[in-house]
Each structure stands twice: as structure tokens, then as C-alpha cells.
């Protein structure tokens, strides 16, 4: 399949996958473009699965730098608590907290579980998820079930505590 | 009677079960209250997970064109292809040729050194003094000679020799003065080098069109109008005192005064204001331009470093370069640390901390030699806390 067509059809999906994975849109876009550059160089036979595999690897590398950001998040938490709510933007503030909470909940998942869930949300079927993650097809249902259960539980716990926590991707 | 396992329930809900599995599960659930509850719960979890993930939707941004992606791949792939074309035998031959070249140059160098007591005769005294005084420079120059030889070999015969290379060679072989103009220049790696990096996180060096033109022209001497800028002259004087790095053939040399003069002149149609004239550079290059070690926020994730004119920053001094360090916090928001080395010309004022309210909070302070500005969409308290962490 023509890579330019893949680019048009799946670039945003790849950015979304990476954004959910690393929590930084600018970096997600950088990494998505890097994945396509590498696809041009390698001309993979199954470009969509290949692109998401490369993207997942790039995201893992990115995650190794997360400890620096985690340290900073403590400061951001204090800042979020100290920041006086401006008139009107309560909704925006609430949404931001929700986003941080989902990111924190997602970070509590095991890496494979998280990636399986994100791939499923990007429209990958069980065979494709198994190919990208190197798992057996029969284990994907279990993996997704575990990921969904833990994500929902982690979010509820964070919501109950009333704040997000350090994001460890 | 065994119940349906969790994975099979999710596969059933996801439509990933085979026809046979689907029939078996449907039949089992129809007669098993517990598994029906588990199936309902699995369906609830599935929709809840999708709902939560929908909260993590990136902002809609215009992606680069496919042509841009292809050009990036072409720039990098061309280099890779060239590397693949180099056969081992050719590489060995090149290595041997290089070894001979180095040997020949070394012998030329040692031949110019005084050989024993005779060298201390009055006729040779001035030359010896010069060599002693510039011992380190001679060693660097030898390296530059090798680079110049390699550059000449790689350059087509019709291409003129860059003045910087010519000056370097002349200074080493003909007893001409060392490249006195060199300290007035700053080496900036060419953009193509960044394209060869495999690291996806390496920010490409983006030189503005004016800088590219200056690099192409390789103007050895800065124009008089740029030299009239007093702060720029001070910066040049400061740079003269710095150790001059060896020039690699991949580098171009851009007169700093000319570069700064061009920065200070708004381009036609260019929007005035911060950010419009800044371009990405490597941190080490930014430090050279700044004339000092970069002040940093070591605990944050550095996304990129940008260089631009002092006139484009609030309260900045025109004629001196300013450096922006763009960091990212965990939420993806940018925190920018702007700095400018004011040098000895800076007013002797006490450290100042002030806040400005706009789209992003901003702190600006000076400590006599440095102007520092911290910007970010975070509260003033956080900015103050971050400012304390600037090292």
C-alpha cells in the first residue's frame, strides 16, 4: 500500500496512540513523523502494524526519560492546588484534572496491557495487536480484560483521593 | 460446570471470538447467571475504558505534508545509502591514504620546528617565540590542516576553496600570522549533520535563510555597520579570549557581528515579537553564542534550545544574542527559560524579581551579568520556585 495514503489515513491515529502513551503532544507528533520517516526507509510489507510497533518502541525510549518529568510533577501538583480558580474556567480546570487522572491511571498499567489497550482503541484487531506486541492471539482477550479492569479501578481510586499522581509511563 | 474465563468474555464482546467460541459462550451465558453478570461487567469495563481514554484526545494540529516527510527521509536515507555504498576495500584504502597524509603533515610540521641549539640563533628567535606562545594553537592548526586536506580532496576541482580553510592553511605553512580573524567567528554545524542522526529526539538545526546565505558567502570580515554596534564589539572581544575550537570540514563559519546585525534587521513581512526570529540550535552552540555556560533547569525535560536576538525578548539588549531553553512539564506545557549574558556592560543593579500577567506568567530578573526570564502557563508561585532552581 502507498505510504502516503497510510500517512493520510493513520497519522492522526498514530499521534493519538503516542500522545496517550507519553502524554506530550509535541513529542507525540515528532515521534509519529519519525516513525513515518523510518517507514519510508524500510518500506515495510505491513506498514500499519510496523508503524505502531516502531511508535511503541519510540514511546518506550521516551518513557525512560519520564523520571525527570515525574520529579517536576510534584511541583505541578502543588501549583495546581495553589492556583486560584479563575472565574469561568472551572470546566477547563476540571477537565485538566480529569486528563491528569486518566494519564496517571494509565501509567499504573503494565506496559503490555497499556499498549494492547491503546492499540485496541486505535482500531487494531486481536491478530494485529498480537503481531505488534509479539503475544499469542489467545492471550489478547485476557490482556485487554486485565487492562480495562485496572484502568477503571485506578481511575476510581485516584478520583476518590481527589488528585492525580506522578505519571510513570 | 466450568465458567467462561475473563479473556474469552472480552474476546466475545470485542467480536474476536471464532464462530464456534461465540456459539459456546452464548449458550453458556444463557444458562449461567454468574457468567452473565461477569459478561455485563466486562461490557461495562470495556465502555468505561474507552470513555476514559477518550479524555486523552490530542489537539487537532495540521500535520506536515507528506512531501516534508519524504524530504526528511531522503536527506537521511541519502546519507545511509552513501554509507552503504562504501565498500570495505575502499574504506581500507581511504584509511591508508589518510595515514600517509597524516604522516606527511606531521613530518612537515616537525621540519619547521627548531632542531637543537642552532635554532636559538638570533635569526630564529622571533619564530621560536611565536611558536612557544602559540604552542596549543599549532597543535590545533595541525588538526585543521588535516581537515583542510580532506576537505580539498572531497571538494570538486571547480569549487572555490573556503576563505577560512585557505587562511588556516596559509597560516600554518607560509608563516603567515595565525588566523587572527577566526576568534571573531563562531562555528555553527551545518543542518545536514542533524539529518544524519538516528536519534529521533535530536532537534534539527534550523538556520534562518539569512544565516544560510551568510554561510554560503563565507564572508571573512564583518561589515563596518555591524562593527558599529558597541555591544556586539564587546561580545566579539569576549569571544576573542575564548579558546578557538578546531574547525571541522563539515562546519561553516559565520561572522558573529554580521549574524547579529542581520538578526536585528526585521525581515520584510516578518512579524515582530518574541519567537519570530528564534531558531533551534544545539545547546553547545547556544553556549558559544551566549558567551557563557547556559543557565539551566536540570530537573526538567529539555525539548529544544533556540537562539535569537536580544531585541526580541522583553527587556533584552539589542545587539546581543539571547538563548531560549524550552522545557516541557508532565502535562506537555512549555516552560521557557530565556537568558542573555549582559557582560561587563550590564548595569550594576540588585537581583530583581518581578511578575507579569499575560497569557503566560513571566518572571524576569537580573543578577548583574545575566538577564533571565522564566515563562510558563503555571502560577507565579511555581515560576518563583522554578526560578530558584535555575543553575
Residue A60, all three cell numbers: 518506550
Hey, which of A139-153, B114-128, B311-325, B342-356 has the most confident mean pLDDT? A139-153
Residue B21 scores a pLDDT above 70: yes
User: Are residues B61 and A29, on separate chains, in Cβ contact within 8 Å?
Assistant: yes
Within 10 A of B139 (CB to CB), how many other CB atoms are there? 12
For A151, which of B49, B58, B61 is closest by C-beta distance?
A: B49
Helix (H) or strand (E) holding B47: helix B33-54
Per-residue model confidence (pLDDT) at position B63: 87
Please, what are the domains in chain A? Answer: 1-64 (1.10.1740), 66-169 (1.10.10.10)
Per-residue model confidence (pLDDT) at position B387: 79
Residue B186 scores a pLDDT above 60: no
Q: Are A40 and B182 in contact (CB under 8 A)?
A: no
Q: Please tell me the least confidently modeled range out of A58-67, B144-153, B256-265.
A: B144-153
Per-residue model confidence (pLDDT) at position B201: 35
Q: Of A34, A21, A22, A20, which Cα lies nearest the Cα of A69?
A: A22
- B9 at interface of A, judged by CB pairs closer than 8 A: yes
Task: Give start and end residues of each alpha helix (H) in A44-122.
Answer: 47-63, 66-82, 90-107, 111-121
Residue B149, all three cell numbers: 586536506
- B386 at interface of A, judged by CB pairs closer than 8 A: yes
Band (B112; pLDDT cuts 50, 70, 90): low
Residue A87 scores a pLDDT above 80: no
Q: Which residues on chain B are in Cβ contact (under 8 Å) with A155?
A: 52
Helix (H) or strand (E) holding B217: helix B209-217
CATH topology for B271-391 is: Protein Transport Mog1p; Chain A (3.40.1000)
* Domain ranges (residues) in chain B: 6-51, 147-265, 271-391
Q: State ipTM.
A: 0.82
Could you give the CA distance from residue B235 to residue B95 in angstroms, rounded to a whole number?
41
Q: Mean pLDDT, to the nearest integer, of B18-32? A: 93
Q: Mean pLDDT, to the nearest integer, of A68-93? A: 53
Q: Mean pLDDT, to the nearest integer, of B74-102? A: 59
Band (B162; pLDDT cuts 50, 70, 90): very low
Task: Give start and end residues of each alpha helix (H) in B113-174.
Answer: 122-133, 135-154, 163-173
Residue A145 scores a pLDDT above 90: yes
Q: In what order do the strands lie in the sheet with B279-281?
A: B279-281, B301-309, B321-328, B334-341, B370-376, B361-366, B354-356
Q: Mean pLDDT, to the nearest integer, of B22-37? A: 93
- B176 at interface of A, judged by CB pairs closer than 8 A: no
Could you give the CA distance from residue B93 to residue A155 in angstroms, rounded to a whole number?
63
Could you give the CA distance from residue A125 to residue A148 in angstroms, rounded to a whole number?
16
Band (B103; pLDDT cuts 50, 70, 90): low
Q: Which residues on chain B are in Cβ contact (under 8 Å) with A144?
A: 7, 10, 14
Q: Which residue of A has its CA nearest to B64?
A: A33
Identify the DSSP state of B157.
T
Burial (CB < 10 A; 0-12, 13-18, 19+), residue B238, is: middle
Q: Which residues on chain A are in Cβ contact (under 8 Å) with B80?
A: 41
CA atoms within 13 A on the CB side of B225: 7
Band (A109; pLDDT cuts 50, 70, 90): very high
Q: Which residues on chain B are in Cβ contact (under 8 Å) with A36?
A: 69, 73
DSSP letters for B264-330: HSPPTTPPPSTTSS-EEE-HHHHHHHHTSPPP--TTSEEEEEEEEEGGGSTTPPTTSEEEEEEEE-T
Identify the DSSP state of B358.
S
For B330, which of A15, A152, A167 is closest by C-beta distance?
A: A167
Q: Which residue did the predictor score with more confidence, B253 or B59?
A: B59
Work out the mean pLDDT of chain B and round it to a whole number.
61
Q: Which residue has the cell 484487531?
A: A125
Amino acid at each position: 500500500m502507498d505510504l502516503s495514503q497510510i500517512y493520510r489515513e493513520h497519522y492522526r491515529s498514530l499521534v493519538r496512540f503516542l500522545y496517550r502513551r507519553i502524554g506530550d503532544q509535541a513529542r507525540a507528533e515528532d515521534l509519529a513523523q519519525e516513525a513515518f520517516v523510518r517507514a519510508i526507509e524500510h518500506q515495510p510489507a505491513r506498514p500499519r502494524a510496523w508503524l505502531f510497533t516502531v511508535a511503541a518502541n519510540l514511546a518506550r525510549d521516551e518513557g525512560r526519560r519520564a523520571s525527570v518529568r515525574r520529579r517536576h510533577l510534584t511541583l505541578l501538583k502543588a501549583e495546581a492546588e495553589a492556583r486560584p480558580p479563575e472565574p469561568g474556567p472551572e470546566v477547563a480546570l476540571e477537565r485538566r484534572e480529569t486528563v491528569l487522572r486518566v494519564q496517571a491511571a494509565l501509567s499504573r498499567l503494565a506496559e503490555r496491557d497499556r499498549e494492547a489497550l491503546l492499540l485496541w482503541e486505535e482500531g487494531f484487531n486481536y491478530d494485529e495487536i498480537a503481531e505488534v506486541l509479539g503475544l499469542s492471539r489467545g492471550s489478547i482477550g485476557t490482556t485487554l480484560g486485565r487492562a480495562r479492569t485496572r484502568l477503571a479501578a485506578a481511575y476510581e481510586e485516584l478520583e476518590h483521593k481527589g488528585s492525580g499522581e506522578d505519571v510513570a509511563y | 460446570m466450568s465458567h467462561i474465563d475473563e479473556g474469552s468474555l472480552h474476546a466475545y464482546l470485542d467480536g474476536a471470538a471464532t464462530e464456534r467460541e461465540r456459539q459456546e459462550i452464548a449458550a453458556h451465558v444463557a444458562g449461567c447467571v454468574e457468567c452473565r453478570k461477569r459478561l455485563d461487567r466486562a461490557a461495562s469495563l470495556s465502555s468505561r475504558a474507552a470513555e476514559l481514554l477518550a479524555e486523552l484526545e490530542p489537539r487537532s494540529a495540521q500535520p506536515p505534508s507528506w512531501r516534508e516527510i519524504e524530504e526528511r527521509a531522503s536527506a537521511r536515507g541519502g546519507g545511509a545509502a552513501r554509507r552503504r555504498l562504501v565498500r570495505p576495500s575502499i574504506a581500507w584504502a581511504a584509511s591508508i591514504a589518510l595515514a600517509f597524509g597524516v604522516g606527511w603533515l606531521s613530518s612537515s610540521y616537525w621540519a619547521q620546528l627548531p632542531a637543537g641549539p642552532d635554532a636559538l640563533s638570533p635569526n630564529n628567535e622571533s619564530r621560536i617565540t611565536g611558536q612557544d606562545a602559540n604552542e596549543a594553537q599549532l597543535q590545533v592548526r595541525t588538526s585543521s590542516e588535516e581537515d583542510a586536506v580532506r576537505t580539498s580532496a572531497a571538494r570538486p576541482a571547480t569549487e572555490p576553496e573556503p576563505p577560512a580553510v585557505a587562511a588556516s592553511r596559509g597560516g600554518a605553512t607560509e608563516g603567515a600570522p595565525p588566523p587572527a580573524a577566526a576568534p571573531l567567528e563562531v562555528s555553527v554545524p551545518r543542518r545536514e549533520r542533524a539529518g544524519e542522526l538516528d536519534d529521533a529526539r535530536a532537534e534539527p538545526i534550523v538556520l534562518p535563510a539569512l544565516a544560510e546565505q551568510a554561510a554560503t558567502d563565507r564572508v571573512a570580515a564583518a561589515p563596518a555597520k555591524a562593527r558599529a554596534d558597541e555591544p556586539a564589539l564587546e561580545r566579539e572581544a569576549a569571544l576573542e579570549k575564548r579558546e578557538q575550537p578546531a574547525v571541522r570540514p563539515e562546519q561553516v563559519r559565520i561572522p558573529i557581528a554580521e549574524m547579529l546585525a542581520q538578526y536585528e534587521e526585521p525581515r520584510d513581512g516578518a512579524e515582530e515579537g518574541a519567537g519570530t526570529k528564534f531558531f533551534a540550535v544545539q545547546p553547545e552552540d547556544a553556549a558559544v553564542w551566549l558567551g557563557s555556560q547556559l543557565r539551566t533547569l536540570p530537573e526538567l525535560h529539555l525539548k529544544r534550545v533556540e537562539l535569537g536576538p536580544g531585541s526580541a525578548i522583553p527587556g533584552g539588549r539589542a545587539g546581543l544574542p539571547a538563548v531560549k531553553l524550552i522545557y516541557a512539564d508532565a502535562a506537555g506545557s512549555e516552560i521557557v527559560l530565556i537568558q542573555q549574558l549582559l557582560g561587563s556592560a550590564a548595569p550594576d543593579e540588585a537581583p530583581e524579581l518581578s511578575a507579569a500577567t499575560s497569557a503566560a506568567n513571566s518572571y524576569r530578573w537580573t543578577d548583574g551579568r545575566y538577564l533571565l526570564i522564566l515563562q510558563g502557563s503555571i502560577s507565579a508561585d511555581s515560576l518563583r520556585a522554578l526560578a530558584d532552581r535555575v543553575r
